[in-house]
Amino acid sequence: MQEARITLGHTDISIRPIGLGCMGMSQFYGDADEEESVATIHAAIDAGIDFFDTSDIYGAASAATGQPQKGFGHNEELLGRAVRGVRDEVVLATKFGARLAPEGGVALDGRPEYVAAACDASLRRLGVDHIDLYYIHRLDPTVPIEDTVGAMADLVTAGKVRAIGLSAVGPDILHRAAAVAPISALQSEYSLWAREVEREVLPTCRELGITFVPYSPLGRAALAGRFTSGTSFSGDDFRSTLPKFQEENFAENLRLVEGLKAFADEQGHAPGQIALAWLLAQPYDIAPIPGTKRAAYARQNAAATAVPLSADDLAFLTALFDPARVRGGQYGELNVRPQH
């Protein structure tokens, strides 16, 4: 793995360009074995990955039903256990602001008092004395972003957090937040087949010195070439609810993935490695966090930093996944609302 590193915006925090998203170890993509998940995190560290992403809500709710699964905070506890003894070698990112509502579904909470309480709870679950990068998971539309970010900045002053970030917001919110405190990272979906952020969000990140952290950079494993036209998803798999994975949409999108697989075969690399290399070649400060529950895939993803793509290669891939050719939006109907 190459020694290339990037620095999170407005900080001295240096990371390898590809991290590991840990969400699937607790929910959304079917069952996961905890010991295998811990072994995957260890394998990722051995492969040079040092940037790990979680959230307090991962494990709390079934994507399909909203009913409790492994428990609120499960993924943080799992990650904390996995990095015990190597804490100084890793950069830990977690999120707050989304929790289970008593009546079902997900509640959003960006109140300053909740910011402080949520951080303390995450520190306990992770078993650490500080969080390297702390995001608000989803915007609470009933609380001014200035108030939420102000409370997050107080955590930096208190030494509980090193840097703060936002998730899934647009340029206006980014500007308002950055006027209160330095924003180090924005996490949103971005991949060959999900390019909505290219028009306004990525240029705004560049303008404000914000590192962009793409989640689902492998299209929820589709861009890794692991599905065929006969693939179906169980009711506890989040993909069963997503527009890109529905019947005719999925069939059309898989035709694009077949083009990616053929290109990857010619290059002698895995399709997922090509998809990650395409992201790393974009003219922005980008640190993708592909998720996996398998050590072999973590190692494969880490090696994507050494995959070369020429200007012609990049142009071919960009055109192959032209947004006009990709079928289906980002999400179906979600049961998410403010609650406090």
pLDDT tens per residue across span 133-179: 999 999 999 999 999 999 999 999 999 999 999 999 999 999 999 99
Does 66 reside within a domain?
yes
**Helical pair 247-267 and 311-320, crossing angle rounded to 10 deg:** 170
Give the mean model confidence (pLDDT) for residues 200-227.
96
Is 1 a domain residue? Answer: no
Closest of 301, 262, 272 to residue 191, by C-alpha = 272
3-state class (DSSP) for residue 108? strand
Q: Where are the alpha helices (DSSP H) in 12-51?
A: 34-46
The reply to whether 223 falls in a domain is: yes
Residue count of the chain: 340
pLDDT tens digits for range 117-126: 999 999 999 9
User: Which residue numbers are catalytic?
Assistant: 58
What's 89's domain CATH number?
3.20.20.100
| Other C-beta atoms lying within 10 Å of the C-beta of residue 311 | 8
Helices (H), 74-144: 74-82, 112-126
- Structurally, the chain folds into a number of domains equal to 1
Average pLDDT of 104-122? 94
Rounded to whole angstroms, how far apart are CA atoms 79 and 22? Answer: 8
Q: What is the pLDDT of residues 20-77, one digit of tens each?
A: 999 989 866 667 789 999 999 999 999 999 999 999 999 875 544 444 467 899 999 9
260: containing domain = 6-338
**104-108, 193-197, 285-289, range with the lowest pLDDT:** 104-108
- The answer to whether residues 295 and 40 touch, using CB atoms and an 8 Å cutoff, is yes
